[in-house]
Amino acid sequence: MLHKYKITGIIAHSMKSEYWVRVIRLLQSQQDVDALQALMGVLLTREERAAVGSRLAIMQALLAGHESQREIARRIGVSIAKVTRCSNYLKTLSDAEMAMIQAIQYQEVECLTQQ
């Protein structure tokens, strides 16, 4: 009987992965920032959008290394536990994944200087 549950779990995980790939493709198909923003407004609640935004801000602040975790939490308006979880998560990322986050920071700076 345990075997049946293990297979069911594998299938469920596979289905969840398939759904995620669908979301990524849907995001990728958007024509411009306005369309992407509208889609994200439909897919995510206000709280979920805020959570994604704060997670990126936390990661960037941690990578910048100019503030303590407590200062980051206070400035962004999140709990110190959330900053600590994000810090611990960053430690699990590969070099390529870390480079991706750092590239996001670079793109943001580049966009700001072009305005």
CATH of the domain at 29: 1.10.1270.10
Give me the residues of the chain with pLDDT under 70, please. 1-15, 105-115
pTM of the predicted model as reported, rounded to 2 decimal places: 0.72
Rounded CA-CA distance 47/65 in Å is 27
**What does residue 52 show for φ and ψ, rounded to 5 degrees?**
-65, -45
54-87 pLDDT tens trace? 999 999 899 999 999 999 999 999 999 999 999 9
What torsion, rounded to 10 degrees, do the Cα atoms 91, 75, 69, 63 define? 40
Residue range(s) defining the domain that contains residue 71: 2-114
Question: What is the total count of domains within the chain?
Answer: 1
